[in-house]
Amino acid sequence: MTTAALLGSPWHPLLSQPATEAAIALLGCWLVRRFADGRVIRGRIVETEAYEAGDPACHGYRRQTARNRSMFGPPGQVYVYQIYGRYHCINLATEAADLASAVLIRALEFPDTEAIAGAGPGRLCRFLAIDRQLDGSWLGPTSPLDLEAADYPLGTLIQTTRIGLTRGVDLPWRWYLAESPAVSRRDRRAEAEQMGVSV
């Protein structure tokens, strides 16, 4: 995939903004996984987290390394890393090149599939066979990964804190769709406060 193809992608504007905004814009969109044999699986994005430069929880907080290189890529580059030796997590680079800014996809809702399959960053990557081989790849119509527009209402949007961190724990940079059965971890308190707010 070339940069030219990326620039032609309608997703460029969506991802060319701070991760905290892209994380919201991605909700309801479809993450498309294309396999070599032609099979395609779509999952609706229902939970995201933002990671920004200057954020102590961000993998690119200190500096660019071999592992986090693609997090510094232009918007639309895919950043996949391995965690706890057994799971993978997928991020989409956002905002601008040379900036550590990305959105972590934390949950996907798959049609006609048990919600548990897409509930959590490790589970959804396992279901979609996403690993480090896809790190550094680009979103696009001929790529293994792509995005498609949201095609039905989001329902209730909940904003809360991120999961599993030891630093930056208080930043409210996680968002999820309250009505989705695939959300990895609910924040009942945030829901009580925000359920009345319609999107």
Question: Which of 132/195 has CB closer to DNA?
Answer: 132
Which one among 59, 99, 134, 178 touches DNA, defined by CB under 7 A? 59
Which one among 27, 28, 45, 68 touches DNA, defined by CB under 7 A? 68
Read off the tokens for 144. Answer: 């293994």
Rounded Cα–Cα distance for residues 80 and 125 (Å)? 9
Read off the tokens for 167. Answer: 């630093």
Q: Which residue type does 160 have?
A: T
Rounded Cα–Cα distance for residues 113 and 104 (Å)? 22
Which one among 13, 164, 172, 181 touches DNA, defined by CB under 7 A? 164
Give the binding range for DNA (CB under 7 A) out of 7-15, 37-45, 53-61, 187-195. Answer: 53-61
Q: Is 175 a residue that touches DNA (CB under 7 A)?
A: no
Rounded Cα–Cα distance for residues 127 and 178 (Å)? 22
Q: Is 83 a residue that touches DNA (CB under 7 A)?
A: yes
Q: Is 162 a residue that touches DNA (CB under 7 A)?
A: yes
* Pairing of β 145-148 and β 102-109: unpaired
Q: Is 87 a residue that touches DNA (CB under 7 A)?
A: yes
